[in-house]
Chains A and B, each alone.
Chain A
Amino acid sequence: MKYKAALLLLLLLFFHGFSVKAIQRFPRPEFETAYSQPETLLPQARAEVMEVVDVVVLALSLSLVSWLVLKKRSRKGVFWMSLFSLAYFGFYREGCVCSIGSIQNIALALFDRNYILPLTAVVFFILPLVFALFFGRTFCAGVCPFGALQDMVSFYPQKTGPKLNGLLGMVPYLYLGFAILYAATGTDFIICRYDPFVGIFRMNASFGMFLFGGLLLITGIFLARPYCRFLCPYGVLLNWASRLSHRHLTITADECIRCRLCEDSCPYDAIDLPLTDKSPETRSSRIRKMAWIVVLIPALTFLGAGTGFLLHTTFAGVNNKVILAKQLATPANQQIKPEPFSVTAFRTSGKSVESVNLEAREVIRRFKTGALALGGFIGLVFGLVIARRMTGRWHDDYLPDKGHCFSCARCIDYCPVKTKLPKNTP
C-alpha cells in the first residue's frame, strides 16, 4: 500500500512538471501591406473554473462508484451513476476531455518539450488509473461515457469464448501502441480521429463518423461493449492497474458456494471459472513449460521489434511531412490531379523541396526507433498472453478476471450469498 502511494505521488509530481498553465494565444500582427489577413475563428475557451468543476465531478464520480461497487455492492447504484456520467461527461461535456484521448496528450508531452500539457488532461489520465490500482476498473463501471452508452444498447449480449476474446483482445494493445507512436511523433491523435461516439455526444459530425459510431452501437447489441473490450487503448492501462488492485470487487460477499448461478451472468466473459480438476503437473512438464516461456517471450519480442523496424516507413507514411515529400517526389504525370491542398500550400510557402525532404527524413528517423519499440511491445504482449495461458493458476472459486472485469456489479445480483457471515458460523 505504501509502495503504491509513493508510486502515485511520484507519478503526479512527474506529470505536474510537464503542465504549464495555458496562456493567452499570441495574436498575429496586422502589417501595413496590401495583404489582408483572414480573420481567425476561435473555439470558445472553457472557463478555468469549469475545468476545476470537471475534475471535481470526475473525482467524486469515481469515489461514489467505487463505494457503490465495493461497499454497497449495488448494481442499481452503478447503473444510475453511469447514466449520470453519460449525461455529464458525454452529452454535456461532449466527450472532451476524456481519459482515453488523454493518453495522446501525455505521450506528446513526453516527447515534445514545446507541447503545453493541460493539467485537466493529466488528471483525467491519472485519476481513473489510480482508482483502478486500488479498487479495480470502477471508471469503466460507471464513469466512462463510452462504456455507459454501449451498456445502454447491450440487449442480447452473446458469449464470445476465451479464444476469440484472446484474439480480439490483442487489438487494444496494437491501438495503444500506434496511438502513442503517432502522438509521440507529432503525427496524429488517432484515438480522436477514430473516436466513435464524440459525434453522437456533440450531435455534430461527418456522416462517416456517425456511421462508424452507429455501426459500433449496433454491434454492441449482440457483443457487449465492443469498444471497451476490443478497441479501447486506455482499457489496456486500466487492465494492468486493476490486476494489482487489492480491493477488487468479488462476486460473492463471502465464501463461494459454487452454485454456478453467476456463471452466465457476465456479458463480458470476465468471470474466471474454477480450475478445480487440474491434475497436478509433473516437475518435468513444469520445467518444460518454463523453458518454453523463457525462450518464447524474448523471441516474440525480438520478432516484433524486427517486424516493426522493417515496417517503419509504412508507419511513417501516415505523417503529413512524409506524405508531402512523397507527393513532391512523384513524377508529374503520376501526380494526383487537381493537386492536393497540401501541395498548393507548399508551393505558396516559398519553402524548398530539400527542406521538406529533410523534415520527412527526420520524421522517418524517429519512426525507426518508434516502430522498433512498438513491434517489441506487441511481441512482448503476445508472449505474456501465451505464457499466461500456459500457466493457468489453480482456484476453486468463481472470480472476476481482475484485468477484464469492468466492475459493473451485474454478477453480484446473481449470487445468493449476499452478506458476509460472522466467523464460526456452521
Chain B
Amino acid sequence: MKQKTLLFGALGMLVVLILFMVKDLFLSSPEPGNNPWKYDLETMKQADTMKPAYTMVKAIPSGLQGLVAIATGPGDRIYTTGAGGAEIYDSACRLLLRFDFEDTAYALTVDSTGNLWMSMGDHVEVWNKTGKKLQTLKSAGRGSLITSLALTGSSLLIADAGLKVVYHYDHMGNMINRIGEKDPVRKVPGFVIPGPWFDLAVSPDGSLWIANPGRHELEQYRFDGQRLLSWGKPGIGIPEFCGCCNPSHFTFLPDGSFVTSEKGIERIKVYNPRGKFSAVVALPGDFDEGTRGLDLATDSRGRILVVDPVRKQIRIFVKRSTTSNN
C-alpha cells in the first residue's frame, strides 16, 4: 500500500511537471511591461567596488580646444595635443609652451630630442619643441585615420584605425612593411576596429604591442609582422575588457607593466608584464559619464598621465603608497 502511494505520488508529480511544460509552452502570454534585455550600465558601474590602488594627485587644466593625445618626453616633460594646437609642460606641470596649427592632432609621440611626431589624420607631421614644423610624411592613403604612433631607434610605428593596419616606417617616412593584416598562413587574425580607437606602444624591453579592441586583446608582434603573443578577455569583470571594443588606449610603466583605459565603462587598470591584472587606477566614478578617449602616458617615476577630454584636464595618478613623494 505504502509503495503504491509512493509510486502514484511520484507519478503525479511527474505528470504535473509535464503539464507545467505544456502550459508554459502553449498557454502563456507575453509578459507585460519592461525590457527584459535592458543593458543596465549603471548597475554594472556600481558593481565596480574594488578600491583603486592609485590616487589622483594633480589635474592640469589644458588650454587646448579639444584634448586628444598625450606623451612624455626627455626630462619627463609632458606633451599634449588636440584640436588646433599642442602644449608642453615640465615635469612639475608648469606650462612651457603652447603653439597652434590648423588641424587636429589625433596621436602623438615624442623623440629623444623632444620633437613632436603627430598624426594629422591621414599623415604624420614632425614639429620641434619650439613649435616649428620640420617634416611632413606621406599620407597613408584614402580612408586612413592614424590614431597612435610610436618611435624606436630606427622605426616609426603607425596605427591606422581607418585602414585597420599598422605601418612600419623608417624615420624618413619610407614604409618598411605592414603589420597585422589578416593572414591565416602566419596565424594573424587581423584587427577588429569598430571605432576610432586603435593604439600601439613599444614596451621598455623594445617589443611591439598592438591593441585589437574588437577582440579585447593586446597582441605582441615582431617588427617583421610575425604575431607572437596575445592576452586579454572580454567581460564585465574588473580584470576583463568590457563592451564591444576595448581597451581603447594603453601604455607601459617603466617596469613593463601595461596600463589600459576603456570606454563605455570608464576604467583605467594596470596589468603585469605577463598580462595578469594587478591594480585599478581609476573607475567610472572618477569620470564624467560618457567620457571616451582616455589617452595614457607614463613617466620615469611611474606616474600615470591621463587625458580627460570631457573635463579638458591632464590628470596625474600615482600609487597610493607613493603619494607623499609627489
Kindly identify which residue among B7, B13, B245 contacts A218, using a CB–CB cutoff of 8 Å. B13
Whether A36 sits at the interface, judged by CB under 8 Å, is: yes
Q: Which residue of A lies closest to B37 (CB)?
A: A341
Contact indicator B18/A30 (Cβ below 8 Å) = no
Q: 1/0 per position for A1-45, CB-CB distance to B under 8 A? A: 000000000000000000000001001111000001111111010
A156 at interface by CB-CB < 8 Å: yes
Q: Which residues of chain B have C-beta atoms less than 8 A from A221's C-beta? A: 10
Q: Does A369 contact B (CB under 8 A)?
A: no
Chain A residues in 8 Å Cβ range of B35: 341, 344-345
Stretch at the interface among A62-70, A102-110, A331-339, A382-390: A331-339
Q: A30-B195, A340-B30 are contacts. A219–B10 as well, Cβ < 8 Å?
A: yes
Q: Is the CB of B6 within 8 A of A158?
A: yes
Q: Is the CB of A230 within 8 A of B264?
A: no
Return the contact of B41 from the options A27, A38, A164 (Cβ within 8 A). Answer: A38
A219 to B18, CA, bound (A): 12
Distance in angstroms from B190 CB to nearest chain A CB is: 8
Q: Which of A39, A158, A231, A314 contacts B26 (CB 8 A)?
A: A314
Given contacts A24-B192, A36-B290, contact A216 B17 (CB under 8 A): yes
Contacts known (A24-B215, A168-B14); A158 close to B30, Cβ less than 8 A: no
Q: How many residues of A contact B (CB 8 A)?
A: 48
- Of residues 2 through 22 on chain B, the ones whose CB sits less than 8 Å from some CB of chain A are 3, 6-7, 9-11, 13-14, 16-18, 20-21
Q: CB-CB < 8 A to A36: which residues of B? A: 290
**Given the complex, which residues of A lie within 8 Å of B16, measured CB to CB?**
215
Q: Does any Cβ of B come within 8 Å of A171's Cβ?
A: yes
How many angstroms from the CA of A259 to the CA of B16 in the assembled complex? 39
Inter-chain contact A42/B235, CB cutoff 8 Å: yes
Does B265 reach chain A (CB closer than 8 Å)? yes
**Contact (A41, B29) CB under 8 Å given A168-B14, A341-B35:** no
**CB pair A164 B11 closer than 8 Å:** yes
* Residues in A neighbouring B10, C-beta threshold 8 A: 158, 219, 221-223, 226
Q: Is the CB of A223 within 8 A of B11?
A: yes
A190→B196 CA distance, assembly (Å): 41
Most buried by B among A40, A337, A344, A345: A40
A306 interface hit (Cβ, 8 Å): no
Q: Which residues of A contact B290 (CB under 8 A)?
A: 36
A235 CB, min distance to chain B CBs, angstroms: 15
> B257-283 CB contact bits vs A (8 Å, 1 = yes)?
000000011000000000000000000
Distance of A162 from chain B, by nearest CB (Å): 14
Are B234 and A158 in contact, CB atoms less than 8 angstroms apart?
no
By the criterion CB–CB under 8 Å, are B11 and A24 in contact?
no
> Does A391 reach chain B (CB closer than 8 Å)?
no
> Which residues from chain A contact B13 at a C-beta distance below 8 Å?
215, 218-219
Answer yes or no: A293 CB below 8 A from chain B CBs. Answer: no
A274 to B322, CA, bound (A): 86
Residue of B nearest to A342 (CB): B30
Minimum CB–CB distance for A236 against chain B, Å: 16
B253 at the interface (CB under 8 A from A): no
* CB of B318 within 8 Å of the partner chain: no
User: B234 to A42, Cβ gap below 8 A?
Assistant: yes
Supply 17 further A-B pairs (C-beta < 8 A) apart from A194-B24, A222-B7, A336-B32: A27-B192, A27-B194, A27-B245, A39-B244, A39-B264, A41-B236, A156-B6, A216-B14, A218-B13, A219-B17, A222-B9, A223-B7, A336-B30, A340-B30, A340-B33, A341-B36, A342-B30
- Interface of A with B (CB < 8 Å)? 24, 27-30, 36-42, 44, 156, 158-160, 164, 168, 171, 178, 190, 194, 212, 215-216, 218-219, 221-223, 226, 230-231, 314, 317-318, 323, 327, 336-342, 344-345
